[in-house]
Amino acid sequence: MSANRFDLAGKVALVTGGSRGLGLEMVRAFAQAGADVVITSRKLEACEAAAAEVRALGRRAFPYACHVGHWSELDGLVDAAYGEMGRIDVLVNNAGMSPLASSSADTSEDLFDKIVGVNFKGPFRLTALVGPRMVQDGGGSVINISSTGGIRPQPRFLPYAGAKAALNIITEGFAREYGPTVRVNGIMAGPFLTDISKAWTAEARERSNSALGRPGRPEEIVTAALYLASPSSSYTTGSVIRVDGGLP
């Protein structure tokens, strides 16, 4: 496959949680493919560091601090992104959080609301704001970063699993709402060696019960993201692609 299959020259991508982990890998990949990038996370300093990497590749970057779990902040993010960049061609709802409670009974209402807010409410609202503008501009691509937890729920992170399952559902729903010009897809990620893996055991960082027998490296999310962001996936919408090493 030639490199230009994933050409994003002239496109603008907005990546939530884009200052570290899988989000930062996607920011780098989009910029390398020719896109300008809006980078948002809660900490402006981290967004600015990622933006510096994008600019070093010769692309425009716009860092913007935003808590995607806060509904009231998302209008400002979208307005600022359009004001600075003029358009959004690719929206990646990547920001997420998966804190554990000792048990379901010990999960507080505040923790539940935070988990659902970042993993489900934020992506819903952001897509609802950007989707109609993409339609007006002639099309676009929305990519929701989900988790295999949404189909393989385990005790202690059930609110997270439920939020990701809901994210899978709205992926198909938004594909119908904003099609045919806007495509909406998801990536169902398995275990990846991002910052969260620092809390894992040494064995968990080396081995997985997947077909490949190991966790993923952050850069291994990139090809799926480039495929869904680019015209190469022109006949793919409402789909959730598993990138999990072959988990059972």
Angle at 55 between CA 50 and CA 59, to 5 degrees: 115
Do 64 and 43 form a contact (C-beta atoms < 8 A)? no
Q: Which two tokens stand for residue 193?
A: 């060696």
Please tell me what DSSP assigns to residue 68: T
The residue segments making up the domain with residue 29 are: 3-243
Do 94 and 15 form a contact (C-beta atoms < 8 A)? yes
Residue 106 placed within a domain: yes
Domain count, the chain: 1
Residue 235 falls in the annotated catalytic set: no
pLDDT of 27 higher than 70: yes
Would you call 191 helix, strand, or coil by DSSP?
Answer: coil
pLDDT tens digits along 40-90: 999 999 999 999 999 999 999 999 999 999 999 999 999 999 999 999 999
3 confidence band (pLDDT: 50, 70, 90): low
Angle formed by the axes of helices 122-136 and 71-85, to 10°? 30
pLDDT of 22 higher than 80: yes
pLDDT tens digits along 137-187: 999 999 999 999 999 998 888 999 999 999 999 999 999 999 999 999 999
Residues across the chain: 248
Q: Which two tokens stand for residue 200?
A: 């894992």
Task: Please give the pLDDT value at position 196.
Answer: 76
Residue 248 placed within a domain: no
Query: Residue 166 belongs to a domain with what CATH number?
Result: 3.40.50.720
Residue 208 placed within a domain: yes
Instruction: Go through 33-58 and write b for each residue having 16 or more CB atoms within 10 A of its CB, e for each that does not.
Output: bbbbbbbbbbebebbeebbebbeeee
Q: What is the mean pLDDT of the chain?
A: 95
Residue 39 placed within a domain: yes
The residue from 160, 178, 227, 235 that is catalytic is: 160
Q: Which two tokens stand for residue 169?
A: 């559902």
2 confidence band (pLDDT: 50, 70, 90): very low
Residue 68 placed within a domain: yes
Residue 109 placed within a domain: yes
Would you call 67 helix, strand, or coil by DSSP?
Answer: coil
Residue 226 placed within a domain: yes
Do 243 and 189 form a contact (C-beta atoms < 8 A)? yes
Do 155 and 199 form a contact (C-beta atoms < 8 A)? no
Do 216 and 224 form a contact (C-beta atoms < 8 A)? no
Residue 190 placed within a domain: yes
